[in-house]
Amino acid sequence: MNEALKPDEVTQRSAPAPVETTPKRRRSLLARVAIVAALAAAAVFAWQRFERGEPSTQQGENSGRHAQPPQTVRVAPATLGDMPLTIDALGTVTPFETVTVRTQIAGNLQTVGFTEGQIVNKGDFLAQIDPRPYEAALTQAQGQLAKDTALLGQAQSDLARYQQLAKQDSISQQQVADQAALVAQDKAAIAADQGMVKTAELNVGYAHIVSPITGRVGLRLVDPGNYLQPSDATGIVVITQIDPISVVFTTPEDNLPRIAARLNSGAELKVTVLDRDNVHSLAAGTLTTYDSQIDVTTGTIKMRATFANPDAVLFPQQFVNVRLLVDTMTGATLAPNPAIQLGASGNFVYLLNDDSTVSKRDVVTGPGNGKLTVITSGLKPGDKVVIDGVDRLRDGAKVTVVDGAAGAGGQAAAGGGLEQGGGRVAADQHRHRGSPGVAQAAGGPEACAAALPAEAKAIYEAAAPGFASSSDPRAFVRSKVVDLVKEGTVQRDSAHASAIAAGGCLEQLSSAAGQPTQGSAETSPAGQAPPTNGGTSPSGAPPAGEAAKVGPAGGASTQSAAPAAATEQHPGTGGAAATQGAAQ
């Protein structure tokens, strides 16, 4: 058992056996690679057919039984009209003159000659300080003046006699010189007395206080019987000029060159002031001037507009919305905002063809307002574009047009903000994507709000309690934004973008409560909901409780929604996401 191994046996046992790569293993590896490549090619081919909306062979053979019904849409024509180029801003009503009436002498306040809230004119009596001490001082000054005047007369008479005697060499010249000096002293005393008399007269006049300007008096700050002094911290009353009045607002410095050019050309720029809900017009005026420096901390510049205010509609320090009309684009092609979609290649619309199909048309947008957007390229007046039901449309898809109120494209709307590049269009798309009937992001409105920036989250938290029950959600959110701007929680420059971001989560909140948001539900002229086709809503979304399963042809068939649903976005459509059950 212990005998030694032979050298050749040790070599044979320590050397590992060589690994042989057989042709059979190579063929197996190549076969696996070929299978993977074939599967990848088939997947790419199927996806391309799905994107083009080509029907499969089986669907072509059984098209009579499985053809998807046309999508129900509403259309509106592109129109030719004028687009006002306006700038929206937040402003404060600022009076031209504000005066705090104070006493200039010390004394008891005897009477008050105004009523709180009264409109007074310049020179009207306001208050009376006890004048008796100052009247006594005036009498004393006048008596001293009379005394010194008499002394001056006597000195002048003596000087005349001395000068006559000096000519006769009866008195010395020194006596004449002394008398002349005495006359000069009396004249100086009289000048001082006259100053004392004027001072006493002014004090007596100060006791009778009158209004320095025409305006509205505020609340009385001191009551009769109080002892007043010029050093008092508070005055008697504050008077504010009401008519005319101005509004000071800020605008980004990028707008200054265009505004300055218009003012320098002699143009009169119209300014409209609206209430805090941005709905009702309060007054109309003109832009007067702008500040001499740009605020480097905010990149904005202050501007002042002047308004006639005979009815006191604008009140000092009132917070208002300002709309500045810079210019007007005439003869522009206008399209309704809901028709403009955002895709990978930019903005586009779905154009209705004569054969009841739609074509995807790329467009270049210009300025817009809350209803219409200028189309600088891609459309001509009279072209009919889809404004409702665009969510799952594709190029060449068959559609069914539903008659309804499509007044959004019927005429040019005055007012609105100057939003370049379709900024307002993006907001409309955001509202459309969050409307009822379209699948919302997983997690609900709470998860949506948690992902918002700080300012947008503040707007959501302020508006969430009453948003679902509000009769006008847009005006309700706008009022909350105005309050947050006044508190300093939201900056004016970012308020618009933050409100749009918060709006998506708020609309999810309203959808979860079962109430449609403004602008998300359309009705037929008779007040009934538009007809549906194939179990889908007019916007193309499936009914509640069902999910849209997208087939290769781009159509949608409904099936029961699985507990766990995945949300997928149609590439290039810019529409809402369709929900497909995770369990097939």
pLDDT digits (tens, 9 = 90+) for 488-526: 888 877 787 788 888 888 877 766 655 444 443 333 333
Of the candidates 373, 381, 380, 350, the one whose C-alpha atom is nearest the C-alpha of residue 421 is 373
Please say which residue of 231, 263, 290 terminates a domain. Answer: 231
Higher pLDDT, 414 or 191: 191
On whether both 342 and 377 belong to a single domain, the answer is yes
Distances (CA, A) of 478 to 313, 368, 463, 482: 21, 19, 9, 6
Indicate if 209 and 328 belong to the same structural domain: no
Structural domain includes residue 134: yes
Q: Classify residue 279: in a domain, yes or no.
A: yes
More confident residue, 544 or 134: 134
Please state, rounded to an integer, the average pLDDT across all residues of the chain. Answer: 77
Per-residue pLDDT, averaged over 261-287, amounts to 92
**Averaged pLDDT, 470-484:** 83
Answer yes or no: is pLDDT of 12 > 60. no
Asked if residue 86 and residue 117 are part of one domain, the reply reads: no
Mean pLDDT along residues 104-116: 94
Quote the crossing angle between the two packed helices 423-433 and 495-512, to the nearest 10°. 20
- Which are the contacts of 527, defined by CB distance < 8 A and separation ≥ 6? none
User: Does a structural domain hold residue 305?
Assistant: yes
CA distance 114 to 237: 10
Is residue 284 located within the same domain as residue 374? yes
CA distances for 533 relative to 61, 69, 72, 551, angstroms: 23, 7, 7, 17
Predicted pLDDT at 552: 35
pLDDT of residue 547 exceeding 70: no
Taking residues 141-165, report their average pLDDT.
92
H-helix or E-strand spanning residue 329 = strand 319-336
* Number of Cβ atoms within 10 Å of the Cβ of 189: 17
Contacts of 44 (CB under 8 A, 6+ apart): none
Residue 254 has pLDDT above 90, yes or no: yes
Give residue-wise pLDDT tens across range 160-178.
Answer: 998 888 888 888 889 889 9
Domain range spanning residue 85?
68-96+241-435
The pLDDT-based confidence of 52 (bands split at 50, 70, 90) is low
| pLDDT score recorded for residue 512 | 64
The token duo for 417 is: 């903000």
Question: Does residue 159 surpass a pLDDT of 50?
Answer: yes
Cβ–Cβ under 8 Å, residues 83 and 367? yes
Same domain, 311 and 427: yes
Q: Is the pTM of this model over 0.85?
A: no
- Identify the helix (H) or strand (E) that includes residue 101: strand 98-101
The stretch 212-235 carries a mean pLDDT of: 94
157 and 274 part of one domain: no
Q: What is the pLDDT of residue 558?
A: 34
With bands split at pLDDT 50, 70 and 90, how would you rate the model's confidence at 242?
A: very high
Taking residue 528's Cβ as centre, other Cβ atoms within 10 Å add up to: 8
Helices (H), 95-172: 132-167
In a domain, 50, yes or no: yes
Q: What is the pLDDT of residue 253?
A: 94
For 62, the token pair is: 């059984």
Query: Is residue 307 domain-shared with residue 324, that is, in the same domain?
Result: yes
Structural domain count, the chain: 3
Q: Could you tell me what percent of the chain has a pLDDT over 70?
A: 72
Of 170, 196, 231, the domain-final residue:
231
- Residue pLDDT, tens place only, 305-363: 999 999 999 999 999 999 999 999 999 999 999 999 988 889 999 999 999 899 999 99
In this predicted structure, the answer to whether residue 416 has a pLDDT above a threshold of 50 is: no
CA nearest to 513, candidates 421, 444, 443, 417? 444
pLDDT tens digits along 367-414:
888 889 999 999 999 999 999 988 888 888 899 888 754 333 333 333
Measure Cα distances from 220 to 97, 108, 123, 223, 241 in Å.
Answer: 18, 16, 18, 7, 17
pLDDT at 572 over 50: no
- Please name the helix (run of DSSP H) or strand (run of DSSP E) that holds residue 327, with its range, or none: strand 319-336
Q: In the predicted model, is pLDDT for residue 59 greater than 60?
A: no
Q: How confident is the model at residue 32 (pLDDT cuts 50, 70, 90)?
A: confident
Q: Kindly state whether residues 158 and 252 are assigned to the same domain.
A: no
* pLDDT higher at 44 or 280: 280
The pLDDT confidence band at residue 113, using thresholds 50, 70 and 90, is: very high
For residues 75 and 186, state if they share a domain.
no
Locate 43 and state its tokens: 């997947």
Query: What average pLDDT does range 407-428 have in this prediction?
Result: 39
Residues 325 and 380 in one domain: yes
Indicate whether 287 and 409 sit together in one domain: yes
pLDDT band at 451 (very low <50, low <70, confident <90, very high): confident
pLDDT score at 443: 58
Q: What's residue 385's pLDDT? A: 94
Polymer length of the chain: 584
Cα distance between residue 78 and residue 336, in whole Å: 7
- Is pLDDT at 536 greater than 80 in this prediction? no
Q: Is 572 exposed, middle or buried (0-12, 13-18, 19+ CB in 10 A)?
A: middle
Indicate whether 128 belongs to any domain: yes
Q: Of 435, 456, 485, which closes a domain?
A: 435
pLDDT confidence bin for 29, thresholds 50/70/90: confident
Q: Pick the residue with more confidence: 501 or 573?
A: 501
- More confident call, 513 vs 34: 34
